[in-house]
A = this chain, B = another copy of it.
């Protein structure tokens, strides 16, 4: 059976992303940290890994960008999950009894305005995971506490939902990528010609620090009408104020015009690595 490493407790959105991408006939395996997810794939403990790269409100998960560089894994897929948050409390608890709300800091931040209106008297307390906050609530059994997590935590931990959809902004999506040791792990054995617009490629590169360097790098894509979907800069370790650039663009690295763009970039870059080409995710309904 396919095993998929994810970070968090069962019921976390990363686990949901694994089911959305692979279907339900897999075994998701929880790990406490993103580092441990990468380790699990590298050591072949799990077939695949799935990690969040960015949230449409909170932005990039920078740790995972850094780990892509540190490990030699490949991106073989992506999936976008709509994020909705639910307020959990023990049976019979009313809003006015709640003095403390626990969850992952990102979930707390995404419900900030709703919480201020709903529970002005409650303190926020950060815990390591959203689903984990409901697990903790069930274990502690405190009637003065509410937790924030996705819907699946309800069936898993048996704590009732007090309020649905408490996120401040409904446009809340997280983009996950699928990691594998083998770059071809999910290749389709199709004889049909590939529609390049249905694929995305992720790369990481560095340039010598001089005026116009990034402009020249982007020229390799812009002059070939290749659409960039994301750029992220991260510090180059050991070189203060120099950067690695992570770029996502539309197209498969093995299509002719992308191959030429990458060769062009390679002429200028001090470092260039293709992290993977994979089918573009659709936005969920």
Task: For the complex, give the distance between the alpha carbons of A225 and B210 in Å.
Answer: 10
Please tell me if A222 contacts chain B, counting CB pairs below 8 Å: yes
Please tell me if A232 contacts chain B, counting CB pairs below 8 Å: yes
Please tell me if A218 contacts chain B, counting CB pairs below 8 Å: yes
Given contacts A171-B238, A235-B54, contact A222 B229 (CB under 8 A): no
Task: For the complex, give the distance between the alpha carbons of A214 and B231 in Å.
Answer: 9
Interface residues of chain A: helix, strand, loop or mixed (majority): mixed
Please tell me if A43 contacts chain B, counting CB pairs below 8 Å: no
A244 — nearest CB in chain B belongs to which residue? B59
How many chain A residues have a CB neighbour from B under 8 Å? Answer: 39
Contacts of A164 in B (CB 8 A): none
Please tell me if A228 contacts chain B, counting CB pairs below 8 Å: yes
Which one, B56, B57, B225, B231, contacts A212 given CB within 8 A? Answer: B225
A54 — nearest CB in chain B belongs to which residue? B235
Contacts of A169 in B (CB 8 A): 237-238
14 A-B interface contacts by CB (under 8 A): A56-B240, A59-B235, A171-B240, A210-B227, A211-B225, A211-B228, A212-B222, A212-B225, A216-B222, A230-B241, A230-B243, A231-B233, A231-B243, A240-B283
**Top 6 A-B residue pairs of the complex, sorted by shortest distance between their CB atoms:** A215-B222, A56-B240, A212-B222, A211-B227, A215-B218, A59-B235
Known A171-B239, A211-B228, A231-B231; 13 more pairs at CB < 8 Å: A56-B235, A56-B241, A59-B234, A59-B235, A62-B62, A211-B225, A211-B227, A214-B218, A214-B231, A215-B222, A216-B222, A233-B233, A240-B283
